[in-house]
Chains A and B, each alone.
Chain A
Amino acid sequence: MASLLFCGPKLAACGLVLSIWGVIMLAMLGIFFTTHSAVLIEDVPFTEKDMEDGPTALQNIYKLYNQVGYNCFIAAAIYVGIGFLSFCQVRLNKRKEYLVH
């Protein structure tokens, strides 16, 4: 069981805080991207081609928005995993602290 512990208490706590922040912020970013918020236009990787006049111009941009949004959701899910890992490390560290005494 001891080999499952690979980081100290401070690193685990930092990881936990970072993951919680990451989950919340990336989930909200994902929501804002999938609702096609105009403020985030600079973060969407569109090119000149997507903006050509045509019936599908708007849909192209929306598709790109959705892609970025899904990327954000996947990243948020990865952070959920990292958060769970950090939480386990924190608990293992606490247990080790009790055992020494």
Chain B
Amino acid sequence: MSSLFRSEEMCLVQLFFQTESAHNCISELGHLGLVQFKDLNPGVAAFQRRFVKEVKKCEEMERILRYLEKEMVKSNIVIAATKEKEMVPCARDVLELESTFEKLEQELREINRNHAALRQNLIELMDIDSLLRMTEDFFEEAESLLTYSEPPSEDSVSMTVSSHITSRRNSNSSTSGALHLSFIAGVIKQERFPAFEKVLWRLFHGNFVLRHTEMQATEELQAVRGAVKKDVFIIFVQGDHVREKIRKVCEGFRASLYSCPKTLYERKQMSNSVMTQMEDLRMILRRTEEYRAGVLTRAAEHVQEWGSKVKKMKAIYYTLNLCNIDITQKLIVAEIWCPVSDLTLVQSALIKGSEQSGSSVTPVLNRIQTQQTPPTFNRTNTFTEGFQAIIDAYGVGTYLEINPAPYTIVTFPFLFAVMFGDCGHGLVMTLFAVWVISQAESLRKWKNELTDVVIGGRYIILLMGMFSIYTGLIYNDCFSKSFNIFGSSWCVRPMFHAHGPWQNETLHEYHHLQLNPFVPGVYSGDPYVFGIDPVWNIASNKLSFLNSFKMKMSVILGVSHMLFGVALSLVNFVHFRKFQDIFLQFVPQLIFMLSLFGYLIFLILYKWCITLRSETAPSILLLFINMMLFDYQSEHVLLYRGQKGVQIFLVLTAVLMVPVLLLVKPFLIYRTRMKTRHQVFRNNLNDQHGTDTRSSYSQHQKDEMVSMGDIFVYQAIHTIEFCLGCISNTTSYLRLWALSLAHAELSEVLWRMVLQVGLKISSGMGSLMLVVLFAAFAVLTVTVLLIMEGLSAFLHALRLHWVEFQNKFYEGSGYKFTPLSFDSLLKTQQ
């Protein structure tokens, strides 16, 4: 019988199946997701296992698949969604898949290489093309200057014109006659050009002509090369020696140099050929890209399917590594943990697997008894798995221990809501949770860690929101304002003249006035029907009342929660048949807690129920302290007759429980050991054995003495932890008060500082201000009050469960059941 109450009963089962049917059987078990394989070769290192080569092959295939997916994403090709359960391939298909993958990868890499090379070529051709176009004007200028300067004059060597020239060289350096100018043309990045020019100047002292223009960035250029700006330059110089130097400088600045023909005709020809070359290249590039897209699209249809196949195969090989293969290589032995109630399902899955593989022998299941602790398995559904996860985060339950999850489903959202308590915020939280629940599948695709956490906890958030609406109605708090649904029990009018002491002048004299409930008519005698009276929202001593109320409520809730925890330990004792512990641990703990803290709750509830005058009412805290100190002086006011006697009795009972907890159990263990020792001793005397039994016997005695000390220490620690823990844990529950106070105050401050500013403007502009301020109010509410305070209250409620509640009964020393399940494998890796 499976329920959330306790973890499931597990059994260790030995499986025998044939090697041929191994793949199919394990894949069927993987689809079922109900068995955990035990490692039968724990001493073997990872690289020594039998199927390590196959696992490596699968990993290689996964790498290729990842590379393919990256390429597809780069080219914006949509990856088709996977179909339902595919069959797991056998060993033959593995080889086929492997070869397909390798071929694909090689092809893709080659295409990419070619594409890059072609692109580089295109860039070069484009550079040459723009170079040719732009240097046209330079050459024209140069030629015109050449024709003008036929008679060389001394200072008209305007070849040295350059925009930065400051001094003119003598015409000594210029040759006479026709000037033989050679030139160097190239392309350089624009940002490097000023430095380039400076270096040239320093080297050649202006003995050159440099012309440059920015290369026009056409759209195509930008697409191919990126947004890098380049300049075309051309240097006219004399002499080859100088040319070499300039060439070296250009290399240093990584400018690409291109040879440029001298005559106009040749240049035109070159320009044309470059154009045609570029056209060809462009076409080739386009074709390459189309081909690449085609290859990728064809692969994209299968890539998801391949991916899941490879993952399943890897999981199967990994599982096979855990099993034992016997001598004849024909039989595989595996040990699995599986829930007792699912044994028939496992059997039928194995039979199906062996039928699929066509083997004649059905696998054999053999349940074996074992002393090892089985893993803890709690069967959860979508709703309960969130709550189980937060319990398991602290510690997985010991095998067959009682599971705190079903109670956590109610108490956790409730304690959260006590700290959060606001209708309006609860409503927003509930609506958000409903939206997440309805959009859970499409939100999972975002694959963000944060959204995954929110989606995992969507039902928790829903319950937290609903409970917060409830506690908000009790605190009568909605965005820090109260609702007056049932009519307040307090009335101000009777305080005035006819019945009460106030006059009109009283209102002018005093700023604060106090309503006196003993004046007839002020307090109707019946408290507000549900929750806190709305009059408190506009009272200035609201906090004095609410603090006292919330503190007492926190203590009541805390003590009840802890008593519930202690009661759950009883269930554990009954199940594990530790009846002695019931009387030695459970009963004294219960009596201790009830007599002290149960009595405290009684005092609180009693004081709430009776009518007292507030000036003479005794403080519960002082009553409690005096009770513990046995301090009863005559002027102390007591709540009821006979209180002194009752209190003395309760304290004495509680104090008596401490030695019971501390000493009785170790003493009983000691007595049983003594009895068995006398038994063994008597048997020994009767048998008349030699000294060796006596020596082994004294050894045994020494072991016992050591563990007796351990037992005493353990029991002492446990007792002190419980008794002192009672007080500290009860005080710890006061955080319920503290956080709800913080939330209420934050909420009120937000209203007063943001929204009220807009409401108080009574002119026409008020509505516009209200629009803006409301937006700010909404944003701040969501970020500060919902997210920040919500996380804070979540954390504190969780801590209260993990520490204060669970240390009364929970051991939490088990290990989790991790079945081989293809669904969870594919989900986690997607």
Q: Which residues of A contact B (CB under 8 A)?
A: 18, 21-22, 25-26, 37-45, 53, 64, 67-68, 71-72, 74-75, 78-79, 82
- Chain A residues whose C-beta falls within 8 Å of the C-beta of B768 in the assembled complex: 75, 78
Cα A46 to Cα B53 in complex, Å, equals: 85
Pick 21 A–B contacts, CB within 8 A, sort by A. A18-B775, A18-B778, A21-B428, A25-B479, A38-B484, A39-B538, A42-B538, A43-B755, A43-B756, A44-B760, A45-B760, A67-B766, A68-B762, A71-B766, A71-B767, A72-B759, A72-B770, A74-B767, A75-B767, A75-B768, A79-B771
CB-nearest residue of chain A to B781: A21
Residues of B within 8 A of A75 (CB): 767-768, 770-771, 774
Is there a chain A Cβ closer than 8 Å to B504's Cβ? yes
Known: A41-B538, A68-B759. 4 other contacts (CB 8 A): A18-B775, A18-B778, A75-B771, A79-B774
Among A26, A43, A45, point to the contact of B774 (Cβ < 8 A): A26
A39–B759 CB distance below 8 A: no
Q: Please state if A71 and B770 are interface contacts (CB–CB under 8 Å).
A: yes
CB–CB B762/A45 < 8 A? yes
Question: CA separation between A2 and B756, bound complex, in Å?
Answer: 40
Residue contact B759 to A71, C-beta cutoff 8 Å: yes
| The one of B484, B752, B756, B771 that contacts A39, using a Cβ cutoff of 8 Å | B484
CB of B482 closer than 8 Å to a CB of A: yes
Q: B residues bordering A, Cβ < 8 Å?
A: 428, 479, 481-484, 504, 534, 537-538, 752, 755-756, 759-762, 766-768, 770-771, 774-775, 778
In angstroms, how far is the closest chain B Cβ from the Cβ of A43?
Answer: 4
Known: A39-B537, A41-B538. A71 touches B484 (CB 8 A): no
Report B-chain residues with C-beta under 8 Å of the C-beta of A44.
Answer: 759-760
Docked pose: A72 CA to B762 CA in angstroms: 10
Task: Report chain B residues within 8 Å CB of A25.
Answer: 479, 774
Residues of A within 8 A of B766 (CB): 67-68, 71
Residues of B close to A18: CB separation below 8 A: 775, 778
- Does the CB pair B770–A26 fall under 8 Å? yes
Complex: how many Å from CA A67 to CA B766? 10
Q: How far is the CA of A40 from the CA of B778 in the complex (A)?
A: 19
When chains A and B are docked, how far (Å) is the Cα of A43 from the Cα of B483? 15
What chain A residues lie within 8 Å of B770 (beta carbons)? 26, 71-72, 75
- Residues of A near B484 (CB, < 8 A) are 37-39
B-chain residues with CB within 8 Å of residue A72 when the two chains form the complex: 759, 767, 770
A26 to B775, CA, bound (A): 11
Report yes or no: B774 in contact with A39, Cβ–Cβ below 8 A.
no
Contacts of B767 in A (CB 8 A): 71-72, 74-75, 78
Which residues on B sit within 8 Å (CB–CB) of A43? 755-756, 759-760
Secondary structure at chain A's binding surface: helix, strand, loop or mixed?
A: helix
Known contacts A71-B767, A78-B767; is-contact A40 B762 (Cβ 8 Å): no
Please determine whether B481 and A67 come into contact, CB atoms closer than 8 angstroms. Answer: no
A21-B760 contact, Cβ under 8 Å, with A53-B504, A71-B770, A79-B771: no
The verdict on A39 contacting B481 (CB below 8 Å), with A45-B760, A71-B762, A78-B767 known, is yes
Minimum CB distance partner of B773 in chain A: A75
A64 surroundings in chain B (CB, below 8 A): 762
Closest-by-CB residue of B relative to A73 is B767
Nearest 8 pairs of A and B residues by beta carbon: A74-B767, A75-B770, A45-B760, A71-B766, A43-B759, A75-B767, A71-B767, A67-B762
**A38 adjacent to B538 (CB under 8 Å):** yes
Q: Report the Cα distance A44→B758, complex, angstroms.
A: 10
B620 to chain A, nearest CB (A): 31
Residues on B with beta carbons closer than 8 Å to the beta carbon of A45 = 759-762
Chain B residues lying within 8 Å of A67, measured Cβ to Cβ, are 762, 766
Q: Within the assembled complex, what's the spacing in Å between the Cα atoms of A81 and B762?
A: 22
Assess the B481–A40 pair: CB atoms within 8 A: yes
Q: CB-nearest residue of chain A relative to B78?
A: A101
Q: In whole Å, how far is B780's beta carbon from the nearest beta carbon of chain A?
A: 12
Taken together as a complex, chains A and B put the C-alpha atoms of A39 and B487 apart, in Å, by 12
Q: Would B759 and A22 count as touching, CB distance under 8 A?
A: no
B753 to chain A, nearest CB (A): 12
- Cβ-defined contact, A22 with B534, below 8 A: no
Kindly provide the distance from the CB of A42 to the nearest chain B CB, expressed in whole angstroms.
7
Q: Name, among A21, A67, A75, the residue most crowded by chain B CB atoms within 10 Å (CB to CB).
A: A75
B300 to chain A minimum Cβ distance, whole angstroms, is 15
Chain B residues lying within 8 Å of A42, measured Cβ to Cβ, are 538, 752, 756
- Residues from chain B with Cβ under 8 Å of A68 in the complex: 759-760, 762, 766
> Which of B534, B537, B778 has a CB less than 8 Å from the CB of A21?
B778
Query: What is the CB-to-nearest-CB distance from A36 to chain B, in angstroms, rounded to a whole number?
Result: 12
Separation of A67 and B763 alpha carbons in the complex (Å): 8
**Which one of A21, A22, A39, A53 contacts B482 once the chains associate, using CB atoms below 8 Å?**
A39
Minimum CB–CB distance for B469 against chain A, Å:
15
Q: In the complex, A97 Cα to B797 Cα: how many Å?
A: 43
Taking the closest CB of chain B, its distance from the CB of A99, in whole angstroms, is 15
Q: With CB as the reference atom, state the residue of chain B lying closest to A41.
A: B538
Given contacts A39-B484, A75-B767, contact A22 B762 (CB under 8 A): no
Knowing A39-B482, A53-B504, the reply to whether A78 touches B771 (Cβ < 8 A) is yes
* CB-CB nearest in chain A for B424: A25
Q: Collect the chain B residues with CB atoms within 8 Å of residue A22's CB.
A: 771, 774-775, 778
**Nearest residue in A to B537 (C-beta to C-beta)?**
A39
**CA–CA, A41 and B504, complex, Å:** 20
CA distance A89 to B771 in the complex (A): 20
Question: Which single residue of chain A is at the shortest CB-CB distance from B752?
Answer: A42
Least distance between B95 CB and chain A CB atoms (Å): 38
Specify the chain B residue showing the minimal Cβ separation from A40: B481
B761 contact set on A, CB distance < 8 A: 45, 71
Contacts of A53 in B (CB 8 A): 504
Q: CA–CA, A53 to B508, complex, Å?
A: 10
In the complex, what residue of chain B is closest to A70 when comparing beta carbons?
B767
| Shortest beta-carbon distance from A41 to chain B in Å | 6
The CA of A41 and the CA of B759, in the complex, are separated in Å by 11
- Chain A nearest Cβ from B301, distance in angstroms: 17
| Contact partners of A74 in chain B: CB under 8 A | 767
Cα A39 to Cα B482 in complex, Å, equals 7
Chain A nearest CB from B151 CB (Å) reads 66
The residue in A18, A25, A39, A78 that gathers the most chain B C-beta atoms within 10 A of its C-beta is A39
B754 to chain A minimum Cβ distance, whole angstroms, is 12
**CB of A5 to closest CB in B, whole Å:** 21
Residue on B nearest A74 in the bound complex, by CB? B767
Residues of chain A within 8 A (CB-CB) of B479 are 25
